[in-house]
Amino acid sequence: MLVRGIRGATTIEKDQEDEILAATIELLQVIKQENKIDIEDIASILFTTTSDIKSAFPALAARKIGWDKVPLLCFQEIEVPGALSRCIRVLMHVNTDKKQDEIKHIYLKDARQLRKDISG
């Protein structure tokens, strides 16, 4: 079994705790569903946010859906002029037998523009 990275991102309209948590929960659940992940196989999750998100840690969303044994860590993205605002990014490390081309990276809402090549 290998450790693979699964990427994902989403955006929020307003920097409010309930919106941050709802958007992050949605993203995590879609990643889990689309990749048929068992929670026991998640090695860790890294979250990043743009500097305009300050009302909550996205990692709290994982705790709220019961992922309390998964190591989680939040970071702030570097500020690049013209970059997408109010964006939450995820890098999930998963133990899996899947090949890299079988992994489904998930981009929701305005974050679809980050990876137009894979986010329909």
CA 31 to chain centre: 8
On whether the CB atoms of residues 119 and 93 are closer than 8 A, the answer is no
For the chain, the average pLDDT equals: 96
pLDDT tens for each residue of 11-55: 999 999 999 999 999 999 999 999 999 999 999 999 999 999 999
Rg, Å, the chain Cα set: 14
Q: What DSSP element (H or E) covers 60?
A: helix 59-64
How far apart are the C-alpha atoms of 10 and 49, rounded to whole Å?
10
How far apart are the C-alpha atoms of 73 and 35, rounded to whole Å?
21
Domain ranges of the chain: 2-114
Q: Which residues are catalytic?
A: 7, 63, 74, 77, 89, 107, 115
Residue 118: the pLDDT is 81
Which CATH number is associated with domain 2-114?
3.30.1330.40
pTM above 0.85, yes or no: yes
Return the structure tokens found at 88: 């939450």
